[in-house]
Structure 1
């Protein structure tokens, strides 16, 4: 009975595919905003910065639609960030200097979804670049 064996295999494969589909979040779900499990939540089109490592402390959220591209954006005076998520869709350079000076530490992160739990320096400013 080849048909029975083939039907059984087909049914098993279909059930496995259905089970795997349930594990994959849909595009409309919130899994994209939350990122990988245990990491900071940040929506598409945003740059999110946290005062403390591991996405803790006060969070600052910057919307791509309101940022001046290719310009230095300083964090508010007396604040800094130690972790970040870049979901702007554009490269973002973070700076140790509040003036985006390249004499201090700086690093560029791609915009396709970067979760950085701890920056190697205090972030005091950033620039969003054209692609």
Structure 2
């Protein structure tokens, strides 16, 4: 690969040339940067799932796949435990409610199981560390 370096004096001389002459001066081409390839045998990062502002979206499977449940902020009781339907846990979530949301392993929002609070400014979690069975939305 050939690299051309222009000094300050050369750049100043180019600026003084007439526009037609300056256009004929060859400029070095930008080097082509290849896109990084995924390592062999490794999947590409998951695409973000569809989730509109004001919604909490939960997917049954990691990577924003499987059945999706959408809970709109307007239909959620703030600071109340919202259990997911029996047998319908989630393994991925997107919090676009604008409020913090705590996801619980317990269907009763018990703090004896695992739980994690996700900020509401646009949090995308392709794989939760446990199956989410309930959640609470908090006041800011």
TM range (shorter): 0.7 to 0.9
* TM-score normalized with structure 1 length: 0.73
Deviation, 1:38, is: 1.7
Deviation, 1:129, is: 0.1
Deviation, 1:78, is: 1.2
1:76 to 85, 101, 116: 85
Q: Does 1:56 align with 2:65?
A: yes
Runs of 4+ in 1 over 6 A off after TM superposition: none
Query: Paired residues, what number?
Result: 101
Per-residue displacement from partner, 1:70-111 (whole Å, max 9, x unpaired)?
A: 000000011100000000000000000000000000000000
**After superposition, where does 1:1-131 map in structure 2 within 5 Å?**
38-131=47-140
Structure (1 or 2) with the larger CA radius of gyration: 2
Gaps of 5+ in 1: 9-36
Gaps of 5+ in 2: 1-14, 23-45
Per-residue displacement from partner, 1:2-36 (whole Å, max 9, x unpaired)?
A: 6x77xx9xxxxxxxxxxxxxxxxxxxxxxxxxxxx
Deviation, 1:52, is: 0.1
Task: Calculate the aligned-residue CA RMSD, in Å.
Answer: 1.7
